[in-house]
Amino acid sequence: MAARELEENGIPTVVIGSARDIVEQCGVPRFVFTDFPLGNPCGKPNDPEMQKQILEIGLNLLETAVYPRTTIQAPFSWGEDETWRKTFMEITQ
């Protein structure tokens, strides 16, 4: 919603996020999808190189998107396999 308001006032935006279905449903103009756990859209903690690259992807999308509601997926993985999906935020004793 904030992106839509900014765009209506002439300020271009890029949303970087992990909840693809929700963000695309909102209809943001430009979206960088990162398939990461919620709360970590810009990369892993303590990985400034990954974070920098994701930011660069977003800035590049801002310059190059020609169609409204453009989504691109960042080429990074949270883990070597998909097990993080089952254990992320797991509370164990």
Q: Residue 84: pLDDT above 90? A: no
How many Å apart are CA 89 and CA 93, to the nearest integer? 13
Whole-model pTM?
0.85
> Which residues, 6+ apart, have CB-to-CB distance to 59 below 8 Å?
14
DSSP bridge partners of 71: 31
The domain limits of the chain are: 2-87
User: Tens digit of pLDDT for each residue in 13-38?
Assistant: 999 999 899 999 988 899 999 999 98
Host H or E run for residue 66: none
Tokens of 31: 């979206």
Nearest alpha carbon to residue 71 among 25, 22, 42, 32: 32
Please tell me which residue, 13 or 2, carries the higher pLDDT value: 13
In the numeric block, the tokens 């900014």 are attached to 6
User: Tens digit of pLDDT for each residue in 48-70?
Assistant: 999 999 999 999 999 999 888 99
